[in-house]
Chains A and B, each alone.
Chain A
Amino acid sequence: MGKTLQKIDNPQVTAFKNNDRQAMQKVYEHTYSKFRNHVFKNSGNEAEAKDIFQDAFVACWRNIKDDKFDGTGSIEAYLYTIARNKWTDHLRSARFRKTVGPEGLSKVVQEEGDDLGADLDTKRQTMLRALDQLGDACQQLLGLFYYERKTMKQVAKDLGIAAASARNKKYRCMERLRSLAEDLTKNG
């Protein structure tokens, strides 16, 4: 299951793992104001601040899900550090980067293009593209169940169908999504 750090109980971590909207919104609002000030002081604008911050928020959320955040500090501080580092990367992204010593880690490197979404790896992009191609009904059903964490009974009620039918649809939608992702992986 990959390497993970020692964990301590942290209610914020549990909230993020469960996609708790209220808790995440609180962290977002609290941290964004501080980050925006940092960006404004460092030659950035509102649109850049928002894009970088949202990428940082997703990275932070993913790290929490993958148990890469040890839970000893606040998520706000952790998120702010990620966002600030991303901003520094963004500022330096088009510049010539330092060379490394001769011991084997050596690479003369030119940072990649100045793409705000560059940290999305290829596989994630493929999965997101496949999801985009999935029909609206499937997207809605999967989102309600996997992101919003509603029970199957609630999902069925929201969609106006029977629970057994919703369960079958979910199964088929996931199969359909996998098939789309496979096609995109093979054919680009």
Chain B
Amino acid sequence: MDREEAYWTKEEQGLFERYLMDQMEPGEKAGFESSIISNPTLNAKFLEFKALFRAIEEAGLRHAMEDFHKGVQKDGKERRLVKTSRAVFRMAATIALLMALGGVWYFYTPNANERLFEAYYVPDPGLPTVMGNSDNYDFYRAMVAYKQGDYPFAIEAWEKLRSKGVANDTLDYFLGSAHLANDQPDKGIEYFEGILDKENPAFTDEAFFYLGLAYLKKDEAQQARKYLKESDLEKAKVLVEKIKD
């Protein structure tokens, strides 16, 4: 260990690690948070400590995951054997039932469209996030959350932008996408329909496709078909043929 001047004091390290390991009482925690807000030097020291602390934790987690994975592989093989025998039994039972009901029962269950939705719905993967442009920082920050599946965060951030007067098809399209991904098809529909009411909107084919899917999720087959037919996406054409009334 070289004798160069230390960056943190022992007290600072102790303070930072107790904060990061959630070992502070509420009062002390609040005091610490306000002190790093008012003291930029302390804040910089804390952020450096936190980054290294997280790296140590992440390395530990990655190591642990290798052990977790061994359990999955072992378990997976065992489960597959059990599943095979169960699957054979289930298949035999299903065939018997289908024969008894004339062979078409499966396709006319009330959940057929729901199953189609599940089979065809994958949330729009979002835009690549370029954080360098400060004008769009809030938008892209929410895009990062969206891509990580944190839809409530993305919705909140994008709706805030909208309430500040930012208005464009891209924002509305991803708001629609985030609502649909967040199990709120009605709100998704509002945004998608809003885009498609405009002249030459962006994401036309995608918006029609997801609008159709949103109606499919609501089990409104006629509406779903109507909008899917408007989309030029190949998957929309395939899906529309499979929808049952």
Contacts and interface: CB of A to CB of B under 8 A. Distances in A.
Contacts of B101: none
Interface residues of B, number: 67
Interface residues of A, number: 68
Interface in A141-184: 142-143, 146-149, 170-172, 174-179, 181
A100 B153 CA distance: 22
Interface in B1-57: 1-2, 4, 6-8, 10, 13, 17, 21-22, 33, 36-37, 48-49, 51-57
B76 A33 contact: yes
Contact of A19 (B17, B60, B152): B60
Main secondary structure of the interface of A (DSSP, over half): helix
A146 B125 contact: no
Interface of A: 1, 5, 17-19, 21, 24-25, 28-29, 32-33, 36, 50, 54, 57-59, 61-63, 65, 68-70, 72, 78, 81-82, 84-85, 88-89, 92, 97-98, 100-101, 103-105, 107, 109, 111-112, 123-124, 127-128, 130-131, 139, 142-143, 146-149, 170-172, 174-179, 181
Contact of B8 (A63, A69, A70, A174): A174
A65 to B, nearest CB: 8
B48 A178 contact: yes
B56 A146 contact: yes
B148 A85 contact: yes
Interface stretch (B90-98, B165-173, B235-243): B165-173
A84 B147 CA distance: 10
